[in-house]
Amino acid sequence: MAAPKALVYGGKGALGSTLISFFKARNWWVASIDLFANDEANANVILENSESWSSQEEAICGKVATLLGDEKVDAILCVAGGWAGGNAASKDFIHNADLMWKQSVWSSSIAAELACHYLKPGGVLTLPGAQAALSGTPGMVGYGMAKAAVHQLTKSLAQPKSGLPDGALVAATLPITIDTPMNRKFMPKADHLSWTPMEMIAQLLFDWTQGVNRPPNGSLVQLITKEGKTDIVIS
């Protein structure tokens, strides 16, 4: 039997790299989509900075078509994103809102489009939400708008005639803070026991591909970590 296949969108980031290691260790074929190659991946789709959403879409879909041909994949895991703060009065408000849109919504939407064309029936699509965006985010207005859009995309894709293949699962993961090297660097004195370990997220997404603890379609899956233990809250 051929190895199961996954695309990891954002596969060179901290969480993306963890996902690739985790799935490869379980004998998956994994391709990374990112600005830089992940040498551990079986294949890489390299993004170039695009002038527009449509030109980025065209470039990525073209490269994925070349890579996959008529093959389909078992999972598309989008973990691309970023963070920038600022309230609506801040000098960088629009600049940062634009950046957040490009980093989170361009990527999630293109992942959704890839899922419509390349995900197997019953496959798994995951998108990167944020627990904070379940309510107002006055100190990071642009970030909140982008993540609210990803949540809406998740809910839309879960409904009939969204374009996803039959039986597919789409869900967003909504962490508070992920325990990444970058977050450790910039917040050395934070309570790291309240951060969600990357391996925990990898295990969670892997389980879904195996039909284990699969949440209802369209779920916003909050990851609430306290004292080193992560509770899953589904909304």
How far CA 154 is from CA of 74, 78, 122, 172, in Å, comes to 18, 12, 16, 6
The interface region with a copy of itself, picked from 37-45, 138-146, 190-198, 224-232 by CB under 8 A, is 138-146
Q: Which one of residues 122, 163, 167, 228 is an interface residue with a copy of itself (CB under 8 A)? A: 163
Six-digit token string for 85: 């703060």
Q: Using the structure block, give the residue that is written with the tokens 């992940």.
A: 38
Q: Are 145 and 99 in contact (CB under 8 A)?
A: no
Nearer to a copy of itself by Cβ, of 52 and 213: the residue is: 52
CB of 217 to a copy of itself, least distance (A): 10
Q: Look at residues 161, 25, 9, 156 and name the one whose alpha carbon lies nearest to residue 75.
A: 9
CB of 224 to a copy of itself, least distance (A): 20
Q: Is 115 in the site for a copy of itself (CB under 8 A)?
A: yes
Count of alpha carbons within 13 angstroms of residue 169, beta-carbon side: 24
Q: Which one of residues 41, 146, 200, 202 is an interface residue with a copy of itself (CB under 8 A)? A: 146
The interface region with a copy of itself, picked from 27-35, 109-117, 179-187, 204-212 by CB under 8 A, is 109-117
CB of 92 to a copy of itself, least distance (A): 10
Q: Is 143 a catalytic residue?
A: yes
Q: Is 160 in the site for a copy of itself (CB under 8 A)?
A: yes
Residue environment code for 6-43, b if the CB has 16+ CB neighbours within 10 A, otherwise e: bbbbbbbbbbbbbbbbbbbeeebbbbbbbeeebeebbb
The DSSP call for residue 213 is S
**What character string, x for contact with a copy of itself (CB under 8 A) and - otherwise, covers 62-91?**
-------------------------xxxx-
Q: What's the alpha-carbon Rg for the chain, to the nearest Å? A: 17
Contacts with a copy of itself, residue ranges (CB under 8 A): 52-54, 57, 87-90, 93-95, 97-98, 101, 105, 109-110, 112-113, 115-117, 133, 135-139, 141-142, 144-153, 155-164, 218
Q: Any idea which residues carry the catalytic annotation?
A: 143
